[in-house]
Amino acid sequence: MTATAAIAGYPRWREVLEARWRDRLSEVTELSLAFHDAAAAAPDRMLAQPESGLRRLMDEAISARKALADTDEALARLAAGRFGRCEQCAAAIPPGSLHRQPEERYCPRCADDGALAVTP
Ligand SMILES: [Zn+2]
């Protein structure tokens, strides 16, 4: 038993987040490599076409990087002892929300707040 194990759920959340981080990292790697391969083979003008597979690959790679960054930040909050607390009001985020989305950073009340409702 380490001192950090005293924080409820700490060891499990770290495992969950690290597993997600690894999954997201390989997704970023695969999408980025696929994009660069496709981009190297395609003419420049294809990048500007919204319907092209190249554009879709680029968008997917960007989303995957954002998701990886979200998990990274959740791991940083865990290390800092702020995981599971709302970043806006410091209220506890319900376990159900964290199970659905371990990267959740706001409690339901703040997440419903118009100012924060900018999730893509
Ligand atoms: Zn809140």
pLDDT band at 84 (very low <50, low <70, confident <90, very high): very high
Domain positions in the chain: 1-83, 84-120
pLDDT at 1: 43
| pLDDT tens figures, 32-45 | 999 989 888 877 66
* Mean pLDDT (whole number) for 15-27: 97
What are the φ/ψ torsions at residue 10 (nearest 5 degrees)? -60, -50
User: Does residue 6 carry a pLDDT above 60?
Assistant: no
- Tell me the CA–centroid distance for residue 109 and ligand 1, in Å: 6
Tell me the two tokens of residue 39. Answer: 């981009």
- Tell me the CA–centroid distance for residue 33 and ligand 1, in Å: 38
pLDDT band at 4 (very low <50, low <70, confident <90, very high): very low
| pLDDT tens figures, 47-66 | 666 667 888 899 999 999 99
Provide the percentage of residues in the chain whose pLDDT is more than 90. 61
Sign for the CA dihedral angle at 114, 115, 117, 120 comes to positive
- Tell me the CA–centroid distance for residue 18 and ligand 1, in Å: 25
- Tell me the CA–centroid distance for residue 107 and ligand 1, in Å: 4
